[in-house]
Amino acid sequence: MLVDLDPQCNATGGLGLSPSPRHPFVFQDESLRKSIRGCAEDFDVLPGCRSFADVERLASVREPAFFKDVARRLSRETRDYDFALIDCPPSLGPLTQAALAWSNEVFTPIQCEYFAMEGLVQMIEVIGRAMKSSDRSLEYGGVILTMCDPSLELTYEVENEVRDFFGEVVFKTTIPRDVAVAEAPSHGKSIIDYAPRSRGARAYVELSLEVLERV
């Protein structure tokens, strides 16, 4: 199952689904199961929500008991799935920190650009604190290099610096810049369904196999 926690709802829209009108995490008296939608065979999605009021409410919550209750509900509804993936906002706010507290493993994608490296360092610090304070055994799954363009010298510079700094934590597979990857969300499909023979699709398949090898 995919849990779209990003208020931009790109993961939801990119799979051809509509965002939820209200955020399922806000209503503690309702089952998350009611919000889960089937997307494909053996693949369900808990859609994101663009409701500004709900997102603000979640972002402003400071009571640990609230997120512990959501974590219990989320664990209960995902226990029958082999994997539950959480798409986090591109920020270090409460939603991302809460997702880290709910998770067993975290993966960090990074674009092969200079400013993305600065953001990665900040994210690593937040992840480190979560690993020390989380009640669950949070592990660091690795760094994923994305939007790699071999024609640019910057790509090699960023990749070399990231690999030198993080070592084997960085996945060997890199995701190339591919127009098919950019087009797929506009058709409401994953890259695997939209262009299965594209460079991007092959890269994501190879990445998935590499992730499974580490499990």
Each residue of 23-47: b (16+ CB within 10 Å) or e? bbbbeeeeebeebbeebeeeebbbb
Predicted local confidence at residue 31, as pLDDT: 63
Contacts of residues 194-202 at CB distance under 8 Å and 24 or more positions apart, as own/partner, are 200/175, 200/176
How confident is the prediction for the chain on average, in pLDDT? 86
Please tell me which of 46-50, 69-73, 91-95, 187-191 the model is most confident about, judged by mean pLDDT: 187-191
Write out pLDDT tens, residues 27-48.
665 667 788 899 888 899 999 8
Predicted local confidence at residue 28, as pLDDT: 61
Predicted local confidence at residue 30, as pLDDT: 62
Q: Percent of the chain scored above 70 by pLDDT?
A: 96
> In whole angstroms, what is the distance from residue 159 CA to residue 154 CA?
8
Predicted local confidence at residue 210, as pLDDT: 96
pLDDT band of 191, cuts 50, 70, 90: very high
Predicted local confidence at residue 207, as pLDDT: 97
Write out pLDDT tens, residues 98-119.
788 788 899 999 998 887 877 7
Predicted local confidence at residue 50, as pLDDT: 86
Predicted local confidence at residue 176, as pLDDT: 96
* Lowest-pLDDT choice from 62-71, 83-92, 95-104, 156-165: 62-71
pLDDT band of 89, cuts 50, 70, 90: confident
More confident residue, 4 or 119: 4
Burial of residue 100 (CB within 10 Å: 0-12, 13-18, 19+) is buried
